[in-house]
Copies of this chain bind each other. A is one copy, B any other.
Amino acid sequence: MSEDQTPENAGEQPEESLFEAPPMGEQERMVEAILFASAEPVTVKELAGRMPHGCDPAEALVHLRKRYEGRGVTLIKVGDAWAMRTAPDLGFLMQKETVETRKLSRAAVETLAIVAYHQPVTRAEIEEIRGVSVSRGTVDQLIELEWIRFGRRRMTPGRPVTFVVTQDFLDHFGLESARDLPGLKELRSAGLLESRPAPSLASDEDSEDGDEDENQSEMFDEA
């Protein structure tokens, strides 16, 4: 290797003549180790400064680059410096996706249930049925889950948007259609509804989902 050293160079750097530069294979190893351990990209000049005299890091880089071609790690040039990086196509390995399953909040479950049983339903109607206001986050969450979506606007003053359940919803809950949802009577007979008849009121709580006023008048009619 030292044969290609011109005498001029040797004259400039006296150490060169004292020791022969290591073989190119060794120089390649050195460049490899330096680039691996360095926290920042390293310039050729810096490499030369750190390697024994007479080394040719530029040439070593050419060899090294070839060696890493197609590997999981590649040699890249950053400005006038060099660095090792994982191959771009393997970037997915540097991501770890953890999937966390959480139970839907009670507010979300109830809102979802109301949309399912009463669709198309406006936000005001949901609030009326639940008796509490529905937070934006709850609706957004259900939309994000793609379990509810916007339906047609209601043709009433203010033209409020309505919500309906999606096909994803039906798929998730194993329903052919929202009409397959069990009615209150079935819920009760399945033991899902605690039987708490209101005192002195008629027994027909099971009246299907009409609106509240209707329910009440029905109750009185039967009294």
Contacts of A96 in B (CB 8 A): 38, 49-50
Q: How large is the interface on A (under 10, 10 to 19, 20 to 34, 35 or more residues)?
A: 20 to 34
**Residue interface bits A74-95, CB-to-B below 8 A is 1, else 0:** 0000000000101100100111
> Which of B28, B34, B72 interacts with A93 by CB under 8 Å?
B34
A192 contacts chain B at the CB level, 8 A cutoff: no
Copies in the complex: 2
A97 contacts chain B at the CB level, 8 A cutoff: yes
Beta-carbon nearest neighbor of A86 in chain B: B33
A71 contacts chain B at the CB level, 8 A cutoff: yes
**Is A36 touching B73 in the complex (CB atoms < 8 A)?**
yes
Contacts of A32 in B (CB 8 A): 71-73
**Is B97 touching A31 in the complex (CB atoms < 8 A)?**
no
Interface of chain A residues 1 through 46 with chain B (CB within 8 A): 28-34, 36-39
Given A29-B71, A90-B30, also A84-B51 (CB < 8 A):
no
A-B complex: 5 closest residue pairs judged by Cβ atoms: A32-B72, A29-B72, A33-B72, A33-B86, A33-B90
Beta-carbon nearest neighbor of A64 in chain B: B72
Contacts of A73 in B (CB 8 A): 32-33, 36
Known contacts A32-B71, A39-B97, A50-B96; 7 further A-B pairs (Cβ under 8 A):
A30-B72, A31-B72, A32-B73, A33-B86, A36-B84, A36-B86, A38-B97
Beta-carbon nearest neighbor of A31 in chain B: B72
Beta-carbon nearest neighbor of A97 in chain B: B37
In the complex, what's the smallest C-beta–C-beta distance from A30 to chain B, in angstroms? 6
**Is B37 touching A94 in the complex (CB atoms < 8 A)?**
yes
Beta-carbon nearest neighbor of A46 in chain B: B96
**Is B34 touching A94 in the complex (CB atoms < 8 A)?**
yes
Contacts of A87 in B (CB 8 A): 29, 33
**Residue interface bits A41-78, CB-to-B below 8 A is 1, else 0:** 00000000111000000000000000000111100000
